[in-house]
Chains A and B, each alone.
Chain A
Amino acid sequence: DAGVIQSPRHEVTEMGQEVTLRCKPISGHNSLFWYRQTMMRGLELLIYFNNNVPIDDSGMPEDRFSAKMPNASFSTLKIQPSEPRDSAVYFCASSLQKNTGELFFGEGSRLTVL
């Protein structure tokens, strides 16, 4: 199995630009999570989906952030417009059984907003 696949691995953009991060979960997994990691705040949950439906988006910082999961094999996290404080590593994770706590993480997308 290829694991959770994220793209791009690195993104450098200028303030005000739109950023789209992509995630392909492990086939057969029914839960998908988006996290953001910074030194100051650690690993923060942004949103999670169950069977392609957003269950909790209370961690999404503001309206500039949006996430979609159009089908079981693809999700996007979009930031529009981006700001320097959005600079972080964004992780996608998927799970077969969420209540086991066993999430499989991708390698992350490192975003730098200048």
Chain B
Amino acid sequence: EDQVTQSPEALRLQEGESSSLNCSYTVSGLRGLFWYRQDPGKGPEFLFTLYSAGEEKEKERLKATLTKKESFLHITAPKPEDSATYLCAVGDKIIFGKGTRLHILP
């Protein structure tokens, strides 16, 4: 059964303080690992798809990386508007982890 575990559950950072979020997964045949952002009261919004170990994708202050067992979402010099819940998902059925709630303090 496909499984996704995200850590930490919550993270508070000062504006400009870089950090990384973790997504560990077990899946029978990785067909892609997906990152989403969810703002309060909204549906998740797609960020990236990673297909193979070693692949990296970037968007503004976010960079996603992938290994055979886990993915990291690196946030460089975050701003308050980066505050959100970040979700990762895997598998043919697109199974989501519980997310990391990120709060950036001004």
The A28-43 residues at the B interface (CB cut-off 8 A) are: 33, 35, 41-43
How many residues of B are counted as interface, with CB atoms below 8 angstroms from the partner's CB atoms?
20
Q: A48-B93, A99-B31, A101-B32 are in contact. Are A43 and B46 (CB under 8 A)?
A: no
Comparing B10-18, B19-27, B37-45, B76-84, the segment that makes contact with chain A is B37-45
Q: Which of A4, A42, A98 has the most CB of B within 10 A?
A: A42
- The main secondary structure of chain B at its interface with chain A is loop
- Complex contacts, B87 vs chain A, CB 8 Å: 43
B49 contacts A102, C-beta separation under 8 Å: yes
Given A43-B87, A43-B96, A48-B93, A101 and B46 contact (CB-CB distance below 8 Å): yes
Q: In the complex the two chains form, is B49's CB within 8 Å of A101's CB?
A: yes
Nearest opposing residue in chain B for A40, CB measure? B98
Number of interface residues of A (CB under 8 A): 23
Spell out A's residues near B (CB within 8 Å). Answer: 4, 33, 35, 41-45, 48, 56, 91, 93, 98-108
